[in-house]
Amino acid sequence: MKLAKYQTDEGVGVGIVEGDQLTPLNLDGDFGSLSDILEAEVPGQVTTELAEPKIKLAFSDITLLPPIDEQEVWAAGVTYKRSKTARMEESEAAASCYDRVYESSRPELFMKATPHRVSGHGQPLRIREDAKWNVPEPELTLVMNTKKQLVGFTVGNDMSSRDIEGDNPLYLPQAKVYSQCAGVGPWITLASAMPPREEIGITLVIRRGGEIVFEGDTGVDQMARTFEDLIGWLGRDNSFPNGVYLMTGTGVVPDSDFTLQPGDVVDITIDGIGTLSNPVVQG
Ligand code: DO4
Ligand code: MG
């Protein structure tokens, strides 16, 4: 089951995605928001009970919103060998840090975005004015409720400024966290509806003027860590009163001569969820 958050003239709603239309949920009772549903003991059951089966909304009649309310967005890094190799090439000074964290029990975890920095499907993602080397990072994103239980999955784009990060690892928050730095969407697939981890493929396609300028893919089976391990480390002495999303790291990094340009369109497809598409802006 897939849950989307959307806007119409009548306000913000949550609906079940079924092909090219949505069945809206009745949010007038105890479950008034996406977060309330994710907090339910069995979110899929609550969703079925709230559905208004006689109403169908076409995607052309709604605007998809990022499927997030007040949750923080965190990210894990260097969870795939490809990310380790690319980072070691990017910064001689920090190479041993990336090498060590890939092998260490403690993962790299960082705060990626607050909800106002998140763009949903079709909304622009930003490259920084002061950065010259920028890439998208396609990442399976875990959706946790306030009890740190994994209740769903969505597609994440951890936009990154490689020249800033490569200059000095202490600049990582500036390379990663800024306005419109995180893509999340197009919706959430409830955990019960996801394919097994080893069958989840991730594809990144970047278009410029309609032409493909980069294409790459990986699979979650290439990730060096388990979801449980990452959630366990994230939750250590940490509370999330609104729930938390965790991007799980990239396994696709374009070659070093590639940088995003304003006007590019980034499509990330993850099996079991769908495609998150965002145009890129700068300035
Ligand atoms: O340490 C740099 C960030 C790593 C990252 O974002 C990733 O591997 O996805
Ligand atoms: Mg990343």
CATH code, 45: 2.30.30.370
Q: Specify whether the CB–CB gap between 198 and 222 falls below 8 A.
A: no
Distance from chain centroid for Cα 265: 16
One domain for residues 32 and 167:
no
Distance 43 CA to ligand 2 centre (A): 28
Q: Which atom of ligand 1 is nearest to the CA of 108?
A: 1
Does ligand 1 lie within 6 Å of residue 249's CB atom?
Answer: yes
Give nearest CA residue, ligand 1 atom 6: 77
Domain boundary among 40, 65, 90: 65
What's the domain count of the chain? 2
One domain for residues 145 and 30:
no
One domain for residues 60 and 175:
no
Q: Provide the pLDDT for residue 102.
A: 96
One domain for residues 132 and 47:
no
Place of tokens 């509806």: 193
One domain for residues 277 and 194:
yes
Give nearest CA residue, ligand 1 atom 7: 77
d(CA 41, CA 157) in angstroms, rounded, equals 29
One domain for residues 140 and 276:
yes
Distance 140 CA to ligand 2 centre (A): 10
One domain for residues 61 and 84:
no
* Domain housing 232: 72-282
Domain boundary among 65, 96, 120: 65
pTM exceeding 0.85: yes
Domain boundary among 41, 65, 89: 65
One domain for residues 192 and 129:
yes
Does ligand 1 lie within 6 Å of residue 90's CB atom?
Answer: no
Question: Phi/psi of residue 166, each to 5°?
Answer: -75, -25
Does ligand 1 lie within 6 Å of residue 67's CB atom?
Answer: no
Q: Provide the pLDDT for residue 224.
A: 97
One domain for residues 157 and 192:
yes
Per-residue pLDDT of the chain (283 residues; tens, 9 = 90+): 999 999 999 999 999 999 999 999 999 999 999 999 999 999 999 999 999 989 999 999 999 999 999 999 999 999 999 999 999 999 888 899 999 999 999 999 999 999 999 999 999 999 999 999 999 999 999 999 999 999 999 999 999 999 999 999 999 999 999 999 999 999 999 999 999 999 999 999 999 999 999 999 999 999 999 999 999 999 999 999 999 999 999 999 999 999 999 999 999 999 999 999 999 999 8
> Which one-letter amino acid corresponds to residue 35?
S
One domain for residues 126 and 219:
yes
Per-residue exposure over 147-165, b if at least 16 CB sit within 10 Å of its own CB, e if not: ebebbbbbbbbbbbbbbbb
Does ligand 1 lie within 6 Å of residue 250's CB atom?
Answer: yes
Give nearest CA residue, ligand 1 atom 2: 77
Q: Specify whether the CB–CB gap between 1 and 67 falls below 8 A.
A: no
One domain for residues 137 and 176:
yes
> Which one-letter amino acid corresponds to residue 128?
R
One domain for residues 53 and 186:
no
